[in-house]
Amino acid sequence: MTETVSHLHPDRPDRKRRSDGERTRNAILREAAKLATLEGLEGLSISKLATAVGMSKSGLFAHFGSKEELQLATFESARALFDEEVISPASGAATGIEQLRQLTENYLLHVQNAYPGGCFFASLISEIDTHAGPVRDRAVEFMAMWLELLTSTIREAQAQGAIDPTEDAEQLTFQIEAYLFLANAQFVISKSSEPIVRARRAIQLRLDAAGRGVLGGDVLLPAPNA
């Protein structure tokens, strides 16, 4: 019987080793992203990370052969978390305006809860905007994706009648992203929830204003006896 089971699952020990290795790698990358939001991705080194996770530098080199490989892997790990916490939960929204509200709210919660230094990507964009290379390329690609998602969601809300069609969708995206970016920066500095609350209110007011022209330019108020 033992021989039969071993024959049916000859790679079981290898699978376990691969699974353990993946868990270790994922734990390393989570710590790397945390450090990157505090010290910058350029400041992230195998030596600092080894100290933070309690491993030897040679142990880390078994997972990442170079600083650039570590940076790129950290980027992808942070992107997967952003997708999980910000983008995916909003994808099932019934309407464009609801998806837009969920995206911005999810982002603000992500700023508060994901990493000690706020949003990984807000930190990264500020840090490497002039550093040519594959990490910068990925960061630019990510920012373009995020802004396009906001813009396309705004246009969907316009098509559904929730936002005035005369609104410039790209300008509205710019304003919303400015609120989010400033909320992240002030939250990191102050560690206070006030910037998050202010951004949430600013976005709400801006979207309310963007919807006022949909039904002829006036906000519909309830009848006096309604």
Look up residue 77 and give its amino acid.
Answer: S
Helix (H, G, I), strand (E, B) or coil at 57: helix
Look up residue 151 and give its amino acid.
Answer: T
CA distance 226 to 169: 34
- State the chain's mean pLDDT as an integer: 85
- pLDDT tens column, 108-155: 999 999 999 999 999 888 777 667 788 889 999 999 999 999 999 999
